[in-house]
Amino acid sequence: MESAESTLFDQAMSRYQAGEDANELLADFEAITEASPNQSSGWTCLAWLQLLTEQSEKALRSARIAVKLNSQDPQARINLSLALLATKSKGVREQVDVVKKILFAVPDFEKDLKESISDGLNRKPNWEELKKIKTWLGL
């Protein structure tokens, strides 16, 4: 039986993938993380939406929670790197190095990360931090 939280997550993800504006989805992902505070994917998505909507400080908090919950999720670490860059905080290189190690160990993640970066640049074409991360990771 599916939980209400996973159904809400799936519905919100489908709406995002269908091109719905990030601002429209923020409240849903805030509700998802409130209902399931230990679900790293909810925090990862929330951080991404916050980055897309110029909420860098909030994104930094969300991304740190996502990485704490799942340190092997490369998207969570990319979001943390982006938030660190956007807030001019330290620790970006360390996060990028961990992502490189994860990609070396699990090459299957590369396709998803390339899609995510492409999506981010389509939604926010002048996203300088994402362009830097893309270059640093060689994606």
Q: What is the value of pTM for the model shown?
A: 0.93
Taking 70 as the pLDDT cut, the residues of the chain under it are 1-6
pLDDT at 1: 37
| pLDDT tens-place string over residues 32-47 | 999 999 999 999 999 9
**Distance of alpha carbon 113 from alpha carbon 109, whole angstroms:** 6
Domains identified in the chain, total number? 1
pLDDT at 7: 86
Sign of the dihedral defined by the CA atoms of residues 83, 89, 94, 100, in that order: positive
Structure tokens at 129: 């931090």
- 69 within 8 A of 77, measured Cβ to Cβ: no
DSSP string over 71-122: TT-HHHHHHHHHHHHHTT-S-HHHHHHHHHHHHHH-TTHHHHHHHHHHHHHH
pLDDT at 71: 95
pLDDT at 72: 94
Domain that holds residue 105: 4-137
CATH number, residue 76: 1.25.40.10
